[in-house]
Amino acid sequence: MRVEVAFTPALLVDASSKVCIVVDVLRATSTLVTMFGRGLAEALVAETVDEARRLAAERPDYLLCGEQGGLPPAGFHYGNSPSEFDRLDLTKRRAILATTNGTPALARAADCPLVLVGALLNVQAVVEVALREAAAAGRDVVILCAGHNRARSFSLEDAFCAGAMVEVMLSREGARPEPRSDALASRRLYRSYRGSARAAFLEADHGAALIGLGLGHDLDFCAQRDRFAVVPRLEHSERETLRVVGR
């Protein structure tokens, strides 16, 4: 079994043969992990705000959530703040999520036979599930970074999170995956910050942007490790709508 890191969604190749962990640590995958940690039953994935509004028009009981430019679009119930969702009881609730980078990255990964939602908030749990499922199916693992600019550009914070996952994989007891050079690069980046997510987030362009929007508290929340044991996964539902469920 090998592990690789795709630093942008465009670098994902041979999707049909790999178990994929999607990472948008600031903030979409951290938000999804938190929502499912707070009891969410299902989240529909929308690549755009307009698609989210269309899905919501057909499902008035769903929470409409997401961001545009980091802030909640007009008419949305909630934004994309994991620290906000951590204060809610979402038991049996259903939601629709649209974000600039995270939800397009999830859609890009949809051809993989298994797509898991990962963040620092569930790093240990998501790594264990990915390795177990990959070993059982004889597949490799890819960590897909959502990136910036509609998932087109490199993201420091996502590469750091990917490096944290590689570190866990290569430090565990028992069978370990063989790292490709991109996985080793992400691990070196992670180690260069001595494992400090806050330090990496403060140097990241997107971290600075969130602070400028008054959302700096989300950096501290997303920097937490293993707050949740949930490992949400992507599925196809009716009319090929993508949805995330918790297991």
Measured in Å, how far apart are the chain's first and last C-alpha atoms?
24
Q: pLDDT at position 221, please?
A: 98
What tokens appear for 26 in the block? 């600031």
What pLDDT, in 10s, does the model give residues 195-219? 999 999 999 999 999 999 999 999 9
CATH number at residue 48: 3.90.1560.10
Q: pLDDT at position 229, please?
A: 97
What pLDDT, in 10s, does the model give residues 34-78? 999 999 999 999 999 999 999 999 999 999 999 999 999 999 999
Residue 130 exposure: Cα atoms within 13 Å on the Cβ side: 34
Pairing of strands 2-6, 140-145: parallel
How many domains, the chain? 1
Residue 239 has pLDDT above 70, yes or no: no
Residue 148 has pLDDT above 90, yes or no: no
pLDDT band at 247 (very low <50, low <70, confident <90, very high): confident
Query: Do 97 and 202 meet the contact criterion of CB atoms below 8 Å apart?
Result: no
pLDDT band at 192 (very low <50, low <70, confident <90, very high): very high
Q: What angle do CA 166, 230, 84 make, to 5 degrees?
A: 105
> Range of 76's domain?
2-245
The string over 39-61, giving b where at least 16 C-beta atoms fall within 10 Å of a residue's C-beta and e elsewhere, is: ebebbbbbbbbebbbebbeeeee
Q: pLDDT at position 227, please?
A: 98
Lowest mean pLDDT among 120-124, 148-152, 230-234, 240-244: 148-152
**Residue 110 main-chain phi, psi, to 5 deg:** -60, -20
Q: pLDDT at position 154, please?
A: 96
Length of the chain: 247
Contacts 24+ apart (CB under 8 A), 147-151: 147/7, 147/8, 147/9, 147/101, 147/105, 148/101, 148/205, 148/206, 149/101, 150/100, 150/101, 150/104, 151/8, 151/9, 151/10, 151/101, 151/104, 151/105, 151/108
Q: pLDDT at position 241, please?
A: 85
pLDDT band at 83 (very low <50, low <70, confident <90, very high): very high
Alpha carbon distances (Å) from 9 to 63, 72, 176, 242: 27, 24, 25, 17
Q: pLDDT at position 223, please?
A: 98
Q: pLDDT at position 238, please?
A: 57
Q: Mean pLDDT over residues 24-39, rounded? A: 98
Three-class DSSP category at 95: strand
pLDDT band at 237 (very low <50, low <70, confident <90, very high): low
